[in-house]
């Protein structure tokens, strides 16, 4: 197996509010799950003590894609507990996350869940969700959107692709699948500890289709082409190019359910719902309406820059990162614009309940 000496960890999304502006695909994914979220929240037990209800947002980034789901979760709870019950919303991400943009958004955005509710209290925890984030038995509802496919570490370098899902090296693919399985179990174990009995957890992440397709083939193709072009004109050295890969992997229905066994239970969690479905493509939808290829290219390139490219750039020397990101974004925008096409994507969703046994 290739050495992991230069293997990166996932980097936070691009800061300065860039993720809030560019993460339109992730926003569409979050919006598509609202009916499932509302149904899950309505099954959460509500004790009569009047103690604050805790909602946890695991992998929040800068918050834009959490506003609508958390607003919906709070509204569903308010139907049951009225307007006076305190609700605590705890946002979680890596210590290097841009939490300043998150809190500015909560204060200023017209869609903030704080706008019409004086008894909601936001806070944040800067810690990996592969560790315990909140006290045991404290969370009524946990939510995580388009985050848990990022792995805790890269178990190996990827010699032939920037994404491990597209490697032709069997040992590398197997290493990432093992890491993904281990990380999923770790994530679930900590969330089970944090949930109250009867609490619910809804996780939405990159999926793999039933026939094994990981999706995002145009993105992978354009990134490979741009990487090779940057090598050819000296913008990247061969050694730098070899370090450009991300520690992330989508999960199939089988992989999502693997920890739960035949009875659908793991670490005190029971499966209530699972699906792998085609994901919405808002950028293609907009292009289909306006035919603006340049805008299509810019939007996909911006999405790539604010979400995936920071983890690629983390493998470079700090002095080289800004120039790399600018060049990469411009190159990808041109490639997408030259040949617009829909992006095949799948999203895996699972609703889990904390049981008493």
State how far the Cα of 245 lies from the Cα of 161, in Å rounded to an integer.
7
The C-alpha angle with vertex 214 and arms to 349 and 240, in degrees rounded to 5, equals 120
Q: What is the 3-state secondary structure (H, E, C) of 98-113?
A: CHHHHHHHHHHCCCCC
Confirm whether 1 is domain-assigned.
Answer: no
Q: Which residues contact 182 (CB under 8 A, 6 or more apart)?
A: none
How high is the pLDDT of residue 5?
A: 38
Written as six digits, the tokens of 25 are 């695909």
Confirm whether 32 is domain-assigned.
Answer: yes
State how far the Cα of 159 lies from the Cα of 137, in Å rounded to an integer.
43
How high is the pLDDT of residue 150?
A: 96
Pairing verdict, β 269-278 and 265-266 = antiparallel
- The alpha carbons of the chain give a radius of gyration, in whole angstroms, of 20
How high is the pLDDT of residue 7?
A: 42
Each residue's pLDDT expressed in tens, for the chain with a length of 357 residues: 333 334 456 777 767 876 767 778 887 777 788 999 999 999 999 988 889 999 999 999 988 889 999 999 999 999 999 999 999 999 999 999 999 999 999 999 999 999 989 999 999 999 999 999 999 999 999 999 999 999 999 999 999 999 999 999 999 999 999 999 999 999 999 999 999 999 999 999 999 999 999 999 999 999 999 999 999 999 998 888 888 999 999 999 999 999 999 999 999 999 999 999 999 999 999 999 999 999 999 999 999 999 999 999 998 999 999 999 999 999 999 999 999 999 999 999 999 999 976
Smallest CA-to-CA distance from 45 within 36, 54, 57, 34 is with 54
How high is the pLDDT of residue 63?
A: 84
State how far the Cα of 202 lies from the Cα of 199, in Å rounded to an integer.
10
Confirm whether 252 is domain-assigned.
Answer: yes
Written as six digits, the tokens of 341 are 């096409």
Confirm whether 4 is domain-assigned.
Answer: no
State how far the Cα of 57 lies from the Cα of 65, in Å rounded to an integer.
11
In 10 A of CB 196, how many CB atoms? 18
- DSSP state string for 121-177: EEEEEES-TTS--S-TT-EEEEEEES-TTB-SS-SS--TT-SSGGG---HHHHHHHH
Confirm whether 55 is domain-assigned.
Answer: yes
DSSP letter at 146 equals S
User: For 192-210, how does the pLDDT look when each residue is reduced to its tens digit (9 = 90+)?
Assistant: 999 999 999 999 999 999 9
Residues in the chain, overall count: 357
Written as six digits, the tokens of 78 are 């308010």
Q: Is 263 helix (H, G, I), strand (E, B) or coil?
A: coil
Confirm whether 308 is domain-assigned.
Answer: yes
How high is the pLDDT of residue 20?
A: 67
Give the chain's domain count. 1
Listed in sequence order, the DSSP H helices in 83-216 are 99-108, 170-194
How high is the pLDDT of residue 89?
A: 98
Helix (H) or strand (E) holding 196: strand 195-206
Give the residue numbers spanning the domain of 244. 18-354
Confirm whether 13 is domain-assigned.
Answer: no
Helix (H) or strand (E) holding 350: strand 346-354
Confirm whether 328 is domain-assigned.
Answer: yes
State how far the Cα of 347 lies from the Cα of 193, in Å rounded to an integer.
26
**Where residue 205 sits, what CATH number does that domain have?**
3.40.50.150
Q: Whole-angstrom distance between the N-terminal and C-terminal Cα of the chain?
A: 41
């Amino acid at each position: 197996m290739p050495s992991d000496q230069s293997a990166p960890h996932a980097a936070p999304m691009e800061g300065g509010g860039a993720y809030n502006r560019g993460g339109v695909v992730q926003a569409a994914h979050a919006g598509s799950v609202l009916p499932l979220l509302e149904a899950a929240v309505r099954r959460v037990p509500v004790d009569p003590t009047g103690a604050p209800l805790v909602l946890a947002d695991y992998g929040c980034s800068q918050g834009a894609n959490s506003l609508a789901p958390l607003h919906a979760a709070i509204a569903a709870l308010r139907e049951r507990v009225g307007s006076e019950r305190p609700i605590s919303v705890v946002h979680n991400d890596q210590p290097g996350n841009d939490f300043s943009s998150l809190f500015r958004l909560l204060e200023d955005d017209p869609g903030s869940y704080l706008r019409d509710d004086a008894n909601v209290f936001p806070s944040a925890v800067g810690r990996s969700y592969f560790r315990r984030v909140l006290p045991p038995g404290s969370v009524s509802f946990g939510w995580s959107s388009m985050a848990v496919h990022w792995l805790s570490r890269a178990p190996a370098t990827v010699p032939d692709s920037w994404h491990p899902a597209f490697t032709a090296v069997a040992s590398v693919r197997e290493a990432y699948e093992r890491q993904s399985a281990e990380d999923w179990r770790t994530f679930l174990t900590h969330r089970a500890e944090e949930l109250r009995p009867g609490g619910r957890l809804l996780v939405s992440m990159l999926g793999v289709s039933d026939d094994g397709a990981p999706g995002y083939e145009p993105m992978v193709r354009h990134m490979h082409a741009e990487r090779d072009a940057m090598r050819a004109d000296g913008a990247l050295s061969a050694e730098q190019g070899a370090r450009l890969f991300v520690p992330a992997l989508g999960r199939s229905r089988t992989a999502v359910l693997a920890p739960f066994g035949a009875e659908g239970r793991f670490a005190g969690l029971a499966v209530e719902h699972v699906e792998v479905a085609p994901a919405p493509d808002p950028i293609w939808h907009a292009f289909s309406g306006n035919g603006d290829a340049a805008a299509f290219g810019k939007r996909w390139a911006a999405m790539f820059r604010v979400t995936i490219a920071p983890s690629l750039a983390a493998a470079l020397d700090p002095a080289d990162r800004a120039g790399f990101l600018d060049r990469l974004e411009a190159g990808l925008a041109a490639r997408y614009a030259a040949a617009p096409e829909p992006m095949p994507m799948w999203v895996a969703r699972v609703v889990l309940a904390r049981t008493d046994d």
